[in-house]
Amino acid sequence: MKKLLNVFIYVLVSTFLLLSCQSINTKKNKQKEKPNIVWIVTEDISPILSFYGDHTAKTPNLDALAKESMIYDNAYATVGVCAPSRSAIITGMYPTSIGTIHMRTGKDIFGWGKRVYLDSTKVNIRDLSGKKIRQYSAVIPGNVKCFTEYLRKNGYYCTNNPKTDYQFAAPLTAWDENSWQAHWKHRPGNKPFFAVFNIGTTHESRLWRNENLPLTVSPDSVPVPPFLPDNAATRKTIARLYSNVELMDKEVGIFIKQLKDAGLYDNTIIFFYSDHGGPLPREKREIYDTGLKVPFLVKDINSRHKGRTDRLISFVDLAPTVLSLTRTPIPDYMEGKAFLGDRQAAPRQYVYGSSDRFDEYSDRIRSARSKRYLYIKNDYPELPKYKDIHYRKQIPMMPVFLKLHKEAKLNPIQESWFQTKNVEELYDCQKDPYQLNDVSDKPEYKKALNEMRQALHKHLDGKTDYGKMPESELIAKMWPNYQQPVTASVLIEKKNGKYYLSCPTKGASIAYLITDKPVEKINFDARWQVYEQPLTLRKGQYLTTVAQRIGYKESSLTSSNSK
C-alpha cells in the first residue's frame, strides 16, 4: 500500500512539473510573439481633450481609450506643420538633418504621391536669398529608410490609410498597402500588422470647409486663449474646432470597434496622437507649445500600463519605439530614442524644434524645450512672428483678426504676434503656458537661459542643418541641374536556381513581384515585396523588380521568368 502511494505521489508531482514547464514555455512563446500595432493619427490639435483637462468637446471614445492607456503630458512634434513632422515620424530623423524642413516640397501628400513636380516658372515661392524655387522630392541621405521597410523585413504587414506627406514620394518598399482602402484586415493569415489610420476631420482647412455643418459645441462655452481677440468671429471658429474634435472622436470609435469585433483589441498596441499643434492663429506653424505640443497616448497589450507620464518625447522617437516594441533592429543612424519596448532609452532632458519655410513665407528658427523652459533662437529677428500665409487667411476668424490689427484695436498680448522678434527668447512654461512673456533678459533666469542655449548648441553642433542653406541651393544639391535624379534599374543574376537582385544606385531599396503573367508597368495597387534575400521561382513564373532611392525617381522595371 505504501509503495502504491509513493507511485501515486511520484506521478502527481511529475504531472505537476510537466504542466508547469508547459505553462512557462507557453508564456515564453507568448512573450516572443510579435504585437500588432495601430496608429490613429488626427491632425492639427493641441492637448484640448478631456484627459488633458479641457472638457469643452465630448469625446467618449477617446475618454474610454485614455482610461486604458498611458497618457503623455510632454509629447512634441518637431515642426508646427504636417509634412516636415511626418518626415521625422517615418524616418526617425530631424528634418534639419535630412533636408525635409520646408513646408512643403511637392504634392506627395496621399498614398504613393503624385510624383510630378512643377518647376520654378509655375511656383511663385522664393527662398531666404530671394531666389525662386521649384517643387521637388527631398533626396535624403542614402542610408535613411522609411522605418516600415524594416518592419516588413521582420514579417509585418504594413498599411497606411492614406496620408503620407513625407516631403518625398513613398517608395514601394515602405508599405504593403498605401491607399484609402488600406487596412490590416487584408493581411494574409494571422501575420502581425502595423496599421496607420489618418483622420483629417480636425485639419485647419475644416475650419472653413465644415462651415455648413451644425455646431455641436456652443460658441458661448468655448475657451478663448489670451493671444486671440474674444469676439463672435473668434468664438465661432473655436466652436467649429471643438465640433470637429467631436466628429473625429466618432471616427476613433470606428477603428476601436473594428479591433474589438475582430477580437484583436486586447492584443494590439494603439497609439493616438495629433501630427502637430492646433489649427488656430498663433498655433499651427508656430515653434511655441501651441504649434508643437500634441495629445499623445499609448494603449498597451491588455492595457498593462495605464496612467500618466511627464516623460519628454519627440516625433523622432516614434520610429525607434515601434522597432523596439516589435523586436526589430534599430538602425544606428536614427536620431530618435525608443521610449517603449525592450530597447527603450533613458528619458530625454530636451526636445527640439525647427521652423523654416511655410508655403510662401520663409524664416529660420530653432528651439529647445525642457519640461519647464522653452528656448528659441531666431536667425532673422527682423522678420515678424506673424507669417502672412494665404492658406491661413481662409480661417473664418482671420479677416476680423487682421482688421483689428490694422485698426490698432488689439491688446498688447494679441498685437505681439505681429511684431518682430528678439534674437533669443526664453519662456518659463510652468508660469507661462502660452509663452507670452519672454524672460530672456531677466537676471533671475540667467542660469536657465545659459542651460537652454547650451542644450540647443549641443544638439546642433557637428550636425548638418540643411536649413542653413538657401532652399534654391538645397534643391540644386539634391537635384543636379534642377532635374530629379533617376534610380538605376535592378540587376538580376541567376545562380544555382536562385535569383539575386542588386541596384547600382547607392541607398536604393528594391521591390519585387512574383506573378504568373508578365507585368508591363508599375501597378501601385499590387502587393510589392521588399527584397532582402535570393528568390526562387516556380516554372512559368515571372519576376518583376523596381528600385528607388528616396527622393529619386523610381527605376524602370526589370523582369525575368523561369521557363
Taking only the tens of pLDDT, the chain with its 563 residues reads 444 445 444 444 444 444 444 443 443 444 458 999 999 999 999 999 999 999 999 999 999 999 999 999 999 999 999 999 999 999 999 999 999 999 999 999 999 999 999 999 999 999 999 999 999 999 999 999 999 999 999 999 999 999 999 999 999 999 999 999 999 999 999 999 999 999 999 999 999 999 999 999 999 999 999 999 999 999 999 999 999 999 999 999 999 999 999 999 999 999 999 999 999 999 999 999 999 999 999 999 999 999 999 999 999 999 999 999 999 999 999 999 999 999 999 999 999 999 999 999 999 999 999 999 999 999 999 999 999 999 999 999 999 999 999 999 999 999 999 999 999 999 999 999 999 999 999 999 999 999 999 999 999 999 999 999 999 999 999 999 999 999 999 999 999 999 999 999 999 999 999 999 999 999 999 999 999 999 999 999 999 999 999 999 999 999 999 87
Give me the phi and psi of 231, to 5 degrees please. Answer: -145, 180
CATH T-level topology, domain 35-347 = Alkaline Phosphatase, subunit A (3.40.720)
Structural domain boundaries in the chain: 35-347, 367-482, 491-561
Residues serving a catalytic function are 82
285: cis peptide before it, omega within 30°? no
| CA distances to 224, 279, 403, 414, 428 from 411, in Å | 14, 22, 13, 5, 22
Tell me the longest C-alpha to C-alpha distance in the chain. 106
Q: How far is Cα 241 from Cα 251, in angstroms, rounded to an integer?
A: 16
pLDDT at 305: 94
The owner of cell 528651439 is 367
For residue 260, report the phi and psi dihedrals to the nearest 5 degrees.
Answer: -65, -40
Contacts of 454 (CB under 8 A, 6+ apart): none
d(CA 421, CA 416): 9
d(CA 264, CA 257): 10
pTM reported for the whole predicted model = 0.93
What is the C-alpha to C-alpha distance for residues 104 and 163, in angstroms, rounded to an integer? 14
Are 294 and 79 in contact by the 8 Å Cβ rule? The answer is no
d(CA 350, CA 341): 21
Cα(225)–Cα(294) distance, integer angstroms: 16
User: Would 35-347 and 491-561 be classified into the same CATH topology?
Assistant: no
Give the CATH number of domain 491-561: 2.60.40
